[in-house]
Amino acid sequence: MLGMHHANEKRRASPLLAGFTLLAVLAATAQTSKPPDIPADELVRATVANEIAAANGPAVNHMFRSRKQTPKGSQTRLYVETKDAIAAMLIAINDRPLTAQQQQAEANHLAWLMGNPDQLRKKHAQEKKDADQPLRIVKALPDAFRYVYAHADDAGAGPGLVRLNFTPNPAYVPPTHVEQVLSGMEGFLLVDAEHRRIAQIDGTLFKDVTFGWGIVGRLDKGGHFLVKQADLGDGSWDITEMQLNITGKILLFKTLAMVSDEVFSDFRRVPDNLTFAQGVEMLKAQENLAHDGHTP
């Protein structure tokens, strides 16, 4: 599933677009897959239907790590998905372990959440909300764009993947501001032709996109995003990388700048009925392994 936590936690229920903006260079030696024998727009519609079904289906929980790089440096976190909410722990800043004081602050925050059921419910509700808007973007993909299979000279997508280039559909009318950003975007999708899942979405704003006649906000031309997702080996898909490079303004004066590259790795399945408290214990155990010299 493709798919914004303590203020930085990854929201997973929307696997396809959580964040929005990322760019990657495909390997020059990648093999080209033959386009399926169906129209490009029908392939996208069938693939998006699978993405929505996966997003609305039973949750498959994992423990994983992320490393997020921004102009200010990097942060590495461990996550455990539980039935209550996502448990997260910062474990490194600029690839260096936390100080004892920083570790204590992380432990205190997790303890505070465990001791405040109302806050934990609010956290869970916010995670769901964070997933809903990207899912609306995914649902809009078949109607918001026109798709064509890539030509042989630019279709290098990798084994089993098909590249579809997209441009805005001039007949599409965005129902809300959430989908409005699509009117100024072009790019490509990489689709797993066998499983009908989106392996990558890469979009660039080819014009400024304004909201509320420019009073509410503006996203600048040239903004770019890329999201990758992959089969985790247990039948579920999840985001493995997100790149964002978007600038603009909010309410005329406040500058908006989202520049980051976040990689998600080391996915391991955990029990579906795991509680938040049990997830926290798993985080602590994994952190202790790292301090003992083992690789988490």
Q: Considering the domain boundaries, does residue 96 fall inside one? A: yes
What pLDDT sits at residue 240?
96
Phi, psi angle pair for 224, to nearest 5°: -140, 145
Joined together, the tokens standing for residue 256 give 């908006």
Q: Does pLDDT of 289 surpass 80?
A: no
What pLDDT sits at residue 184?
94
Q: Most distant CA pair in the chain: distance in Å?
A: 59
What is the sign, positive or negative, of the torsion defined by CA atoms of 201, 202, 207, 210? positive
Confidence grade of residue 14 (pLDDT, cut at 50, 70, 90)? very low
Domain that holds residue 156: 40-291
Give the residue from 283, 242, 229 showing the smallest Cα distance to 55. Answer: 229
Confidence grade of residue 157 (pLDDT, cut at 50, 70, 90)? low
Percent of the chain whose predicted confidence (pLDDT) is above 70: 80
Displacement of CA 112 from its chain's centroid (Å): 27
Q: Considering the domain boundaries, does residue 94 fall inside one? A: yes
Confidence grade of residue 197 (pLDDT, cut at 50, 70, 90)? very high
Confidence grade of residue 155 (pLDDT, cut at 50, 70, 90)? low
First to last CA, the chain: 24
Sequence letter at residue 267:
F
What pLDDT sits at residue 275?
96
Instruction: Judge whether 240 and 229 are in contact, CB under 8 Å.
Output: yes
What pLDDT sits at residue 8?
43
Q: Considering the domain boundaries, does residue 35 fall inside one? A: no
Joined together, the tokens standing for residue 222 give 């040239």
Q: Considering the domain boundaries, does residue 20 fall inside one? A: no
How far apart are alpha carbons 97 and 65 in whole angstroms?
Answer: 14
Q: Considering the domain boundaries, does residue 270 fall inside one? A: yes
Which of residues 86 and 2 earns the better pLDDT score?
86
pTM for this structure? 0.81
Q: Beta strands 217-219 and 237-250: pairing type?
A: antiparallel
Which of residues 118 and 157 earns the better pLDDT score?
118
Instruction: Judge whether 267 and 48 are in contact, CB under 8 Å.
Output: no
How far apart are alpha carbons 184 and 167 in whole angstroms?
Answer: 9
What pLDDT sits at residue 30?
33
Q: Does pLDDT of 12 surpass 70?
A: no
Q: Considering the domain boundaries, does residue 6 fall inside one? A: no
Total tally of structural domains belonging to the chain: 1
Instruction: Judge whether 228 and 24 are in contact, CB under 8 Å.
Output: yes
How far apart are alpha carbons 42 and 282 in whole angstroms?
Answer: 43
Q: Considering the domain boundaries, does residue 19 fall inside one? A: no
pLDDT digits (tens, 9 = 90+) for 92-150: 999 999 999 999 999 999 999 999 999 999 999 999 888 888 888 999 999 999 999 99
Q: Considering the domain boundaries, does residue 32 fall inside one? A: no
What pLDDT sits at residue 22?
32
Instruction: Judge whether 82 and 110 are in contact, CB under 8 Å.
Output: no
Q: Does pLDDT of 34 surpass 80?
A: no
The string of DSSP codes covering 235-295 is S-EEEEEEEEEEEEEETTTEEEEEEEEEEEEEEEE--TT--HHHHHHHHHHHHHHHHTT--
What pLDDT sits at residue 215?
57
Joined together, the tokens standing for residue 14 give 């929307």
